[in-house]
Amino acid sequence: MGIPELNESTLEYPEHSIRGILTGVVAYMKNFRNKAWVWGVAVFFMTVLPAGEGTAQEKVPFDAAFESLKEQLVKEGFDQKKVIEIYQSPEVRFNVQGVSRFLTYREAKLNYDQFVSRRCIRQAKQYMEEYQGELKRAEQAYGVDPKIVTAIILVETRLGTGTGNSSVISTLSTIAALQDSRVRELFWKAVSEGNDITRERFDGWVGRKSNWAYGELKALLKYTEREKMDPAKLKGSFAGALGISQFMPSNILAYAKDGDEDGRIDLFTHADAIASVAHYLKRHGWRPGIDREKAFKVVWSYNHSDYYVDTILKISDKLEG
């Protein structure tokens, strides 16, 4: 059973009830200067109030979860007014459901078998015909086989048809906020119910991912500011990757290219996604005529999975025929 996403719209309590009063109080305290006091009240109500209607997870007051994160962003040079505006957006919320999926995800070979089916190979060949101009330009610029680029886009987003429905900034902000021990405890209480996960594994995951997510969050904000995009509107995978090529924000800054030469980089366009994949592979060692062993290592840099790389190479072989 999944964990429901937690946001203010789910906190529908009668205004005269204790929980209704709490909701109003926490909303009022969002910009309160004494953040420690805010957290004290939040944790107190979370631990002492009965579940009442609905589940306990739905009633956890996560309203203050991004406070420390916002302060950290401002300290590191991000515009305070913009940061406040972003986190006031209704699309930006503490995403327990999505992040818990990331936390418990386990790769299986079956995840990839579907992409070597006749149907998928036929669709990939059609894609190569439709975007042969973009693929050819990328090959000329970066020396990367169009079949490999197509195979990656097939596996990543089914040729651009499935780029993800999760709020990228909500995902990255939720994980980054776990650097705060108070947020971490609230999150643990939410995800430990109904999930087969130990506290040791949880703490290890948080230790690895929270700093990583903060770096990706900063990259996302830099990218969206540069391209004049609204970060609250961007959708992607449950891990925070976005676009047809499923780049993490830091990889967008480092490797993404303007394939259609329109003056901006938008990985939701095929031309930019194709050019960006090719450029990434070149920068990680792809060369024309590369042998299979070296090709394996280069593609592995894109996704650290042997299953993934085997599938990409199999698709490329099938596209040859």
The residue ranking higher by pLDDT, 93 or 26, is 93
Q: Does 136 have pLDDT greater than 70?
A: yes
Residue 19 and residue 76 share a domain? yes
Q: Does 301 have pLDDT greater than 60?
A: yes
Sequential DSSP letters for 154-216? HHHHTTTT----EEHHHHHHHHHHTTSHHHHHHHHHHHSTTS---HHHHHHHHHHHHHHHHHH
Q: How far apart are CA 216 and CA 59, in angstroms?
A: 29
Of 150, 184, 215, which residue sits at a domain end?
Answer: 215
Residue 185 and residue 83 share a domain? yes
Residue 23 and residue 156 share a domain? no
pLDDT of residue 137: 99
pLDDT in tens, 241-282: 999 999 999 999 999 999 999 999 999 999 999 999 999 999
pLDDT in tens, 186-206: 999 988 887 788 999 999 999
pLDDT of residue 109: 62
Q: Flag whether 102 is in a domain.
A: no
The answer to whether 239 touches 171, Cβ cutoff 8 Å, is: yes
Q: How far apart are CA 71 and CA 87, in angstroms?
A: 12
Q: Which of 1-10, 64-73, 285-294 has the lowest mean pLDDT?
A: 1-10
Of 215, 249, 279, which residue sits at a domain end?
Answer: 215
Q: How far apart are CA 226 and CA 263, in angstroms?
A: 11
Q: How many domains does the chain have?
A: 2
Contacts with 199 (C-beta within 8 Å, 6 or more apart), sequence order: 188, 192
- What domain range is 125 assigned to? 110-164+237-320
Share of the chain above pLDDT 90, in %: 72
Q: How far apart are CA 298 and CA 282, in angstroms?
A: 8
pLDDT in tens, 94-126: 999 889 888 887 776 668 999 999 999 999 999
Q: How far apart are CA 84 and CA 304, in angstroms?
A: 36
